[in-house]
Each structure stands twice: as C-alpha cells, then as structure tokens.
Structure 1
C-alpha cells in the first residue's frame, strides 16, 4: 500500500527519493519502500525525515503512534524496583566494575555503598587507572536544599552528617588521577549512578528516605530518551557543583 501522504509532500516540495535519502542518511531504496510499499522507517529516522520535510511524523507514519502505544515501556528500561532497599549493593558495585569510560555519581550521601562494600574506593581507583573517568558529586551539608531534605524526610540533621561522612569517604580519592569530587547544593530529584551506557536512577519521593523510593535500571538505546535526559541532568548539576580541594574541610 502506497504512502500517499508522503508521496504528496515530497512532490509538493520537489523532493526525489535520493534527496530524502541523503537528508536522512539511508539508501534511496529505503525511501522508495516508504513511498511505494508504505513501509515505516525506524523511529529515529522517521523523526528526522519528518523534520526535514516540515511535517508531523505521526501524520506521515500513523503506525508509529500505534507502535508506541502498544510498547508503552521505554526500550531503555532494563528493570524497575519498588525501592532501593530491594537491590543488593552488589548491583551498584557490579555496575561500576563493568565501566570502561565513565562513572558518574550524583547523590546527597549514599553512604550505604561504602558501608556495605568497604572496597569501593579501591574499585574506583582501579577503574581510573584503566582510563575510566570518575566524577562524584555529593551534597553540600551546609546548603539550604540538603537541610530542607532532612526536614522533609523527618531525618533532621542526619542527612547533613551523612553528607559529611560521604565526603570523608571519597576525600581519599582526591589525589587519584582521573577522579573528580565536587559538592552541590541542588534540589536533588533523583540520585544517579552511571557506568558507561548503563544507569541506576533512584527516584526521590517527598517525605521518604531514598532507600524506600523506586529505582529504575536504564541502558542507553537509540530510540529512547530517558538515559540522555538523566545524563544531561548530571551534567547540569556538575557544572554548578564546587570542586573539593585537598586540605579543605
């Protein structure tokens, strides 16, 4: 069945199969199949073609909307856990151990990893020695947002002390090449633990300690956007965070 809408749009703009193929990085035969056989391209390609033609992607390929509704789950979602307490610490450790290029950690404290796995710093040193970039951002105990989080979770000054404890744990890594440590005072909506193309995201729920909030395990996928959204969130916080200097308190 021909895609009459796509054919009409291309004709109106004077586009050939080769023109659209060049614009979207596919073979002209693929465009021919879109037009003459009504085939639906891959989602990323379809959005690029629609943007190029100045058209609504779902108007050109209604099947994309139906496919998305049928899928209903992001292709990046590996697993969903009711609460962080359901995950053994080995899940976090194994994630970091597999990293070859990037380890990014954005938390307020998350001292539970050090408490359950005292070799965490050794693991991070090993990864850094192998050329892996390690960036860790912990909460600034004196910041307004950290103190407010303690009130919301009815944790009082506990979260402030845990931020200081986290900083103490990681401070021994300051002299390690490839490892960066910063403090931040942002309103932390999610704790992020990234290792290359995988990520554990601990959602924060108002009034609930992080261990009782959900965690989703993501793996980057070309047709998804969740992983990139959280990666960009990390970068935004990292840019505002303050580097920790050796010898400072």
Structure 2
C-alpha cells in the first residue's frame, strides 16, 4: 500500500526522488519504495525527511515509533506549565507572534485579552501579507455552548456571547487580509489553542474558572511526539465544522 502522506508531503514541498535520495544518501529507488511500497526508512532517514517536509514522523509513518517512545517524546514537548494564563509573560506572546512565519492558528470563544495588544491586528495583517497562513476560530455568539460556559463561570448566560461579538468586531479588520481566514464555531471548548509555527500555547479550561485563571501549557513540536499533534488535530476538527461569520 503506497504511503500517500509521504507522497503528498513531498509534492507540497516541491521535492522529488532525487532530492530525498541526496539528502538521505540513498538510491532513488529506495526512496521510491518508501513511497510506493510503504517501506519504513531507518530513524535517521525519517528525521531528515520529516524536517524537509515540515511534518512529524508520526504523521508520515504512524506505526514507526513505539507507543512508549512516543510518550517519552511527548513529555519532552512540554516546555513549561503555567498555573494560570495570566501568569504567562507578555514578552512570550510577543516573541512567538514575531517569530511565526508559516502558521498562526487561534481557537477561542472570545480571547479578549488579546485586544490588550494594540499592535496585534496590524501585526497579523503584515504576517498574512508576507505569506503566513492565519486561521482564527471564534465562538459563535448564537451557540448554546457559549451561554452554558457563562453559566459555568458564574457570570451569566449573556456574558460569553457578548464577549464573542466583541471579538468578532475586534478581528473584523482582518477579513480582507491575504492568507487569513476567520470562522465561528459552536463546539464545547475544552482548550483554547494558540499556535505559532511549531510552538503552541494551550489554555486548558477548568469548570467554574475563567480562562485567565486556568493552567496553560507551552509546547514545542518534536518529530515523533504526540502531544503537540493531538492539539493540532483538535484544531483541525473544529475548523472543519466551523462556518463563515455573519458580519
């Protein structure tokens, strides 16, 4: 059975058999067998190819890394755990935003603390103009999940929907920005996700607490790890069911 993930990753990055053969110091026919016969390369070759196509080993070869080893790598993906989101230094947010060149992804209900950065919209526009792919998911103010979250936090049914409407207004200037897409979702938000290339801030949500008082994980993607990829796949799942907002 062909390895379609590997084939697609190479095509997306403009790479052919010769490119991979040269980088891994193997014969092009060996590379062809990795694709057409789904042969699994040696670990050193997997590392090289994953870096070339900017994918994880787990994505390209799901069965290549043993579960115990994936668990070890996943632990190493955790850079730091903050007890509360509000304890994350502002310069970390700014550093991650400034360094992102390929992907910026945001999954929130409202995230109005982001509006504290007066340069955020201007920075995101510039990132989009330079080719960064930006995807923003905001809570749908009409969704019952947002009203329920307000009740759970003890601030009333209308509080979170109102914040989501404010968030939509805040991000509206990005609607015509290149490489930028904004959607609304009505899913239960277990975690807010902020991705900057291969680093991610995951704000967990705790019943009865506002997001700013809940813990936050700082993750860095490692080839062969599962943790970063789990949250990334969760983002994609929400994105697939989200819709264009009615401005």
TM-score (norm 2): 0.72
Shift of 1:85: 1.0
Q: Is the 8 A contact 1:125 1:173 kept in 2?
A: yes
> Structure 1 CA distance, aligned partners of 2:151 and 2:40?
52
Residues 117-128 of structure 1: pairs in structure 2 closer than 5 A: 117-128=117-128
* Structure 1 runs (4+) greater than 6 angstroms displaced: none
Corresponding residue for residue 159 of structure 2: 158
Shift of 1:186: 0.4
- Per the alignment, in what secondary structure is the counterpart of residue 74 of structure 1? helix
Gaps spanning 5+ residues in structure 2: where?
1-37, 44-56
Q: Is the 8 A contact 1:204 1:210 kept in 2?
A: yes
RMSD value over aligned CA atoms? 2.8
Gaps spanning 5+ residues in structure 1: where?
1-21, 28-42, 51-56, 59-64
> Structure 2 CA distance, aligned partners of 1:166 and 1:49?
42
Q: Is the 8 A contact 1:93 1:120 kept in 2?
A: no
- Per the alignment, in what secondary structure is the counterpart of residue 131 of structure 2? coil
> Structure 1 CA distance, aligned partners of 2:39 and 2:161?
53
C-alpha spacing 1:194/1:72, structure 2 compared with 1 (3 Å) = closer
Listed one character per residue, the Cα deviations across residues 158-192 of structure 1 (whole Å, up to 9, x for unaligned) are 21211111000001110111111111110000000
Q: Is the 8 A contact 1:89 1:113 kept in 2?
A: no
C-alpha spacing 1:175/1:49, structure 2 compared with 1 (3 Å) = closer
> Structure 2 CA distance, aligned partners of 1:72 and 1:197?
15
Q: Which has the larger radius of gyration?
A: 1
Matched, 1:24 2:34: no
TM-score (norm 1): 0.72
Q: Which has the higher contact order (CA 8 A, sep 6+)?
A: 2
Listed one character per residue, the Cα deviations across residues 2-39 of structure 1 (whole Å, up to 9, x for unaligned) are xxxxxxxxxxxxxxxxxxxx943129xxxxxxxxxxxx
